[in-house]
Structure 1
Amino acid sequence: MSITHRSLSHIRLSMSALSAVLFLSAILVMATNGFNWGLDFTGGIVAEVRLDPPIAAAELKHWLDSTLMQDVHVVSSSEPGRWILRYNQIGEETVALAPMLELISGSVEVLNSSIVGPQVGQDMVEQGSIAILACFALTMLYLSYRFEWRLALGALVALIHDIVIVLGLFSLLQMEFNLTILAAVLAVLGYSLNDSIIIADRARELFKAKPNESVDTLINDSVRATFSRTIVTSGTRW
C-alpha cells in the first residue's frame, strides 16, 4: 500500500516531536548523570585477578572500597572467581593487590595490571572534542557549497541530534566511555552525514524538476524515495 503525502506529513511531525523529546531527555540525563569515563580519560589502574575460592561481588567491592578508600569498580569476568578491578592510583605508589586480597581469599593471582596516566586522558578528550567540532564545521561548509545553506543546516541539526541521543544513552546506562566508544560516536556521525547527503541530493533534484511544487511535498517525496535505501544500508552495517 502506497503512503500518501498526508500520511508522510503526519509521520514526519510525529517523528519530529519524538526526536525533540529524546533530544531534550538526553541533554537532561547528561546534565544529571554525567558519564562513566574510562581509564583512557581519567587515568588510574585496571587489574584482572583470579580469586579462589570465589567470593560475592558485593563483598569484594566493600572490602576494596574500605581498604583503598575510594570507589572501586568491580566487574565479573566470564570465568567464576575472575574479576576486573578499576581504581585510581594512590599518590605515586602502586598498590600491591595480591597481599591485600589474600586477607579475604585463600589464593590470589594477579593476571595483568596496567596504568594509564591522567595527562594522556586529558589529551584524548581535547583531541576528540576538536575532531567532533571540525566534523561539524567542515560538514556545514561542504553542504553549503554542494547544495544550499538550508539543506546544510538540516544536516548539521541531524548530526547534533544523533550524537546527543547516543551520548545520552551512554549517560543513562552509565556504560564505560572509552576510546572505543569515542570511535563509535565518530562512526555514527559518518553514518548520519551519509544519509543526510543522500536525502539532500534527492531533494535538490526534485526542487529543480518541480520548482512550483510545495516544499513539504518535495521533502516527503525525497524521504520516500530514499527510505528503502536507508533501511537496507543501515540495517546491513551491523
Structure 2
Amino acid sequence: MKDEELARRLRDAAGAHRPDRERMLGRVGRGMAEGRPAARAVRPPRTAMPWLRVAGATAAVCGVLAAGAFAVASAGDGSPRGTRVAAPPHSPAPPSSPAATVTPPPALGALRPEDGPLWTDGAVDPHSNAYWAQSDVTLRTAAPLSSLTVELRIALTGGVNSTGSWRSLPEKDFTVSASEDGGYLVYRWSLRAGRTVPAGTHTFAGQYNHAEGARDAAGDYVTAHAVRVSGQRASVGDWFGPDH
C-alpha cells in the first residue's frame, strides 16, 4: 500500500469517528472520586547521611567548649558574668599601711611641777573603779593668766576610751577636745582669746573606760603652758601613778 493511500484512509477514519462524550465524562468523574495516591516521603540519598552526622557532632562539641569558656570567665573574679578579666603579670604588692606614730613620753626630769607662780599636780581620782577612771589635774597660779593650754595624756592601755571631761573654770572660756594621738587619749583645754584665768586653784578632769581590773596610770602625764598677764611665760608638768 502506498503512503498516499494510507494517509487517505486515516483521514477518512478520523473524520468518521464520533467520540462518546458521556463515557468520557464518566471516566473523569470516577478518577476524581478515587483521589490521588498518597505522596511518598522522599529520603535524602544515603551518601548525604555521613555529612549530616559530622555536622551535628561538630555543633555539639562547639556548644560544650563555649559553655566551658563562659564558666571559667564568670567564676570567682567578681566581674560581670561572661566577662574575662586577666590579671596583669607581675602585679606589684599593695603598699603596706604606715605604722601608727607613737609619741615617746617625756623623760622624768623633763616635767617639773612648779615654775614661778604656776604649779600643777596629776592624780587618779579616788572614786575610780575597776572599769572606769577619772584623771584629775590640779593647777594653781599666784597671778592671773592671759593664755593657758592644759594637755592631759592617758596612755592607751587595754580598753581605754573617752567618756567625757570637765573643768572648774567657766565652760565658755575654753575650747575643749579629746582625740587619740601618738598612743595616748589626749584631752586639751585652751583658753579663748581675750579671756583670763584668775589667780587661785583650778581643776581639769578627763574621764575614760578601761579594761577590767586595776589600771596602771604610771604612763599618764599632764603639761600646762601659760602666759601671765604681765607677759611672763611658765610651763609645768607632772606624772600620774603612785610614784609621781
Ranked by relative contact order (alpha carbons within 8 Å, sequence separation 6 or more), the top structure is 1
Q: TM-score range by the shorter chain?
A: under 0.3
More strand by share: 2
Task: Give the TM-score taking structure 1 as reference length.
Answer: 0.23
Higher helix share: 1
